[in-house]
Amino acid sequence: MKISIVSLSLLGLLFSPPALQAQLLPAISDVQAQEIGKRIWQNECGGTVGGLTSWNVGEEFPSLGIGHFIWYRKEAPQRFEESFPPMLAYLQSRGAKPPEVLVKNKSCPWPSREAFLAAQNSPDMVALRNFLRDTVPLQAAYMAQRFEQSLAKILDAAPASGRTALTARIRAVAATPQGIYALMDYVNFKGEGLRAEERYNGQGWGLLQVLEEMRDSASGIPARQEFSRAAIGVLKRRISNSPPERGEQRWREGWQNRCLTYR
């Protein structure tokens, strides 16, 4: 099975030139999706089963699964996109049977990071972790599908005058070895960059902003290296713009190291 990145009908809708309509990005095979999913799992929590149920210091939510999908508590403010519920819905649509803790709770049932960590060996947490361990291939397939949808949304949201340049940059990165990994990891890591809530001082940090920050091929820099440079720059800007109480400076080195894997 192949998962097309941007459909021909979408490109035909967004662009009128026949040459653009005729070109499709590479497809992601099931094998590629699994390889990229495992690499993202490594990026997020060292590829460990224990890391499938995490709650990072300074965050208002737990991060679950190989993509560290966000699951908010009920009534919690949601600055960042909540990604766990749609991932869970995808798993269920593919036949996965969630444990009782997910059936009973539509929102995260643990009221704090301290309560979450204290429950690490509870029956509910063990069942949740085992479920996430057993559905790793489906989680990888979900991320590939989400990536496809993200590119469509990014192109749709971009000003018409900039779509041709954005498409060229996406294709240039995707055409390189491990280029699909770089794009797919970043959109899982920091989102699409479309939500008004995901802004500091009016500036976002998602895939759209990285693509806008990239210099075109005429600069002579290989596309994947340029994508890495742009991603590091966008995240440095996010840290500079972030509220001091979030303490995002502590993530600078880890975020930069992750972006260096895109090179």
- Examine the domain organization and report whether 167 and 253 are in the same domain: yes
Per-residue pLDDT at 262: 96
Domain span holding position 108: 46-137
- Examine the domain organization and report whether 180 and 231 are in the same domain: yes
- Examine the domain organization and report whether 120 and 169 are in the same domain: no
Does the residue 113 lie in any domain? yes
- Examine the domain organization and report whether 122 and 166 are in the same domain: no
Does the residue 152 lie in any domain? no
- Examine the domain organization and report whether 249 and 167 are in the same domain: yes
Does the residue 62 lie in any domain? yes
Does the residue 71 lie in any domain? yes
CA distances, 161 to each of 21, 36, 157 (Å)? 17, 32, 11
Domain boundary residue among 137, 170, 188?
137
Total domains present in the chain: 2
- Examine the domain organization and report whether 58 and 27 are in the same domain: no
DSSP 197-219: TS-BTTB--SHHHHHHHPPPGGG
Per-residue pLDDT at 218: 63
Does the residue 24 lie in any domain? yes
Per-residue pLDDT at 77: 87
Per-residue pLDDT at 6: 41
- Examine the domain organization and report whether 250 and 168 are in the same domain: yes
Does the residue 234 lie in any domain? yes
- Examine the domain organization and report whether 164 and 112 are in the same domain: no
Per-residue pLDDT at 1: 47
- As a whole number of angstroms, the distance between CA 72 and CA 85 comes to 9
- As a whole number of angstroms, the distance between CA 242 and CA 201 comes to 8
Across the beta sheet with 53-54, the strand order is: 53-54, 63-64, 69-70
Per-residue pLDDT at 26: 66
Does the residue 149 lie in any domain? no
Ordered mean pLDDT values, 10 residues apiece, the chain (263 residues): 41 34 60 94 96 94 97 91 97 98 97 97 98 97 92 91 92 91 95 94 96 82 94 98 93 96 95
- Examine the domain organization and report whether 129 and 187 are in the same domain: no
- Examine the domain organization and report whether 11 and 104 are in the same domain: no
pTM for this model (two decimals) = 0.85
- Examine the domain organization and report whether 75 and 109 are in the same domain: yes
- Examine the domain organization and report whether 25 and 52 are in the same domain: no
- Let me know: does 150 contact 207? Beta carbons within 8 Å: yes
Does the residue 107 lie in any domain? yes
